[in-house]
Amino acid sequence: MLFNLEYLEKSFYFCQIKELIINHTKQHNNMSITKLDQMLEVLKSKQKKRLVAAFANDSHTIGAISGAIDHGIVDATLVGDQEVINRICKEENIDVTKFKVVHEADEMKATNLAVKLINDGEGNLLMKGTVTTDKYMRAILNKETGLMNPGAILTHIAVMENSAYHKLLVCSDVAIIPAPDFKQKLAMTNFLISTAKALGIAKPKVAIIAATEQMSYGMPACVDAAILAKMCDRGQIKDAIIDGPLALDVAIDKESAEIKKLKSEVAGDADCLLFPSIEAGNVFYKTHTKLCGGELGAFVAGARVPAILSSRGDSELTKLYSIALAALTAK
C-alpha cells in the first residue's frame, strides 16, 4: 500500500495548527475579565439578549442602548413617548429603526408595561430610563405584576474599574438594602460570587468588610463576617474563598496585610467586597467615581431578570457597561 508522504506531512502540520488554535481559544474563553471594555468583546461570542427599557426618554439611555446594539450585545425595545424618542434619535443622529418602540407617554404606565413585556417573554433584561427610582422599583416589586419570585432578595451589584487596583472589584450593596441582616448578606454574597464567575473568575475571593480585621464581638458586622467565612470553609457557600471580617485596607492592599501580619488568601487580592451597610457601600462607590475618576457597570440582582438601575446622571459609557454586565449575568 502506497502512502502520500507530502499529504501526511501537511495533515500532521494541519492537526498541530488546529490543536494550537483550539487550545488558544480555550485559554481565551477561560480568562477572567480585568477591564470593563473586555465585556463587550466577550459578549460578541454569546447569544444576544433582548433588552426592554422603561420610559426611555433621554439621550444617555438611548445612546447607550444604541451602542450596545452596534456592539452586537442586545436587541432592544424602548417603551416611552414615541415623539420624544424620535426627536432624540434625530438630534443624536441615531437610526430609530434599530429599536422596537412601544409608545406610552405616562411614566408609571410605561414602566409597568416594560415589566409586563419581560413577564410575557419579550425580554430578558430590564433597564431604567428617566423613570424615577421609586417608580421603577415599585413596578419590579409589585406582588401581582412585578418581577419577584416568593422570598427573593434584591441587591445592587456594581463592578468597578480603578487604576489603583490590579483588577475589577465586584461590590454590594450601595443602593438597595440599608442595613442588611444575615439572611440578606448571605444572598448578597452569593450574588457577588455569581457575578464574579460571569466575569470569568473561577473561584472568586470575597472580602466581608467591617471596620476592623480583628474579631470584635460588639460589632455585628464582624460576627456576620466570621459566620460567612466559616460557612464557606464548610462548603455551605460554594465556589469561592471568603474571609472576614476584613477592614478595607487589608482587603485591597497586600502591603497593609503584610504590615499587620495578616495571613489570608483574600487579603490584598479581593475580587468581591461585601459592605456591612448602605452608607459604607455608597460612600465607597461615590469616592470611586467622583474623587478617583473610576468607571463602573451596575445592575440589580434578585429579580427574574437583571434590572439595570443607572442613575439619570450616569454617563452613556457607564450605562453601556451596565448593559454589558447585565447581559453577561442574564440567563
Q: At 268, which CATH number?
A: 3.40.718.10
53 in a structural domain:
yes
Do 95 and 134 have their domain in common? yes
pLDDT at 11: 56
Do 229 and 289 have their domain in common? yes
Amino acid making up residue 305:
V
Mean pLDDT of the chain, nearest integer = 91
8 in a structural domain:
no
Q: How confident is the model at residue 6 (pLDDT cuts 50, 70, 90)?
A: low
pLDDT single digits (tens) 87-125? 999 999 999 999 999 999 999 999 999 999 999 999 999
pLDDT at 178: 94
Q: Residue 201: which domain range?
A: 155-302
Q: How many domains does the chain have?
A: 2
pLDDT at 315: 87
Q: How confident is the model at residue 286 (pLDDT cuts 50, 70, 90)?
A: very high
Supply the CATH number for residue 118's domain. 3.40.50.10950
* Rounded average pLDDT over 236-247: 97
Q: How many CB atoms lie within 10 A of CB 230?
A: 13
Among residues 142, 85, 77, 140, the alpha carbon closest in space to that of 307 is found at: 140
41 in a structural domain:
yes
Q: Give this prediction's pTM.
A: 0.88
Taking the C-alpha atoms of residue 176 and residue 184, their distance in angstroms, rounded to an integer, is 11
pLDDT at 62: 96
Do 52 and 182 have their domain in common? no
27 in a structural domain:
no
